[in-house]
A = this chain, B = another copy of it.
Amino acid sequence: MKQDISKIADKISYIQNTLSVVNGKWKLPILLSMYSGISRFRDLQRNIPNITTRVLSKELKDLEGNKLIVRIVHDTYPVSIEYKLTPHSHSLTPLVDEMIKWGKQYKEK
């Protein structure tokens, strides 16, 4: 049952890596929305209950900084902006799915 302490320390540090990328109330809901095909600021805000523009803006920048999404400016008139997932971001889908699964069954208690 007991495990090597040094391995536990490694695992804790891996968890903290993950948390440093997806921590907070909003990043995973944003990613889920984007997995579902939503790519515009306005649409994301409409789709995610109670998120404010200020928070959405900050979170998108964080996600961009961690290379999970890219911000694309279309040179139209007026300018339109699209947020797209990077290939790397799809590696998070198992985690997101587990979150959904657990939250669903937890609610049922």
By a beta-carbon cutoff of 8 Å, the part of chain A in contact with chain B is: 1-3, 5, 8-9, 11-19, 21, 23-25, 28-29, 32-33, 36-37, 47-49, 88, 91-92, 94-96, 98-107, 109
Chain B, Cβ-Cβ closest to A3:
B36
Q: What DSSP secondary structure best describes chain A's contact surface?
A: helix
- Of B14, B21, B37, B103, the contact of A17 (CB 8 Å cutoff): B103
CB proximity of A39 to chain B, nearest CB, Å: 11
CB proximity of A16 to chain B, nearest CB, Å: 7
- Which residues of B sit under 8 angstroms from A37, Cβ to Cβ? 1-3
- 4 additional A-B pairs beyond A16-B103, A19-B28, A23-B25, beta carbons within 8 Å, are A8-B32, A9-B47, A12-B48, A15-B100
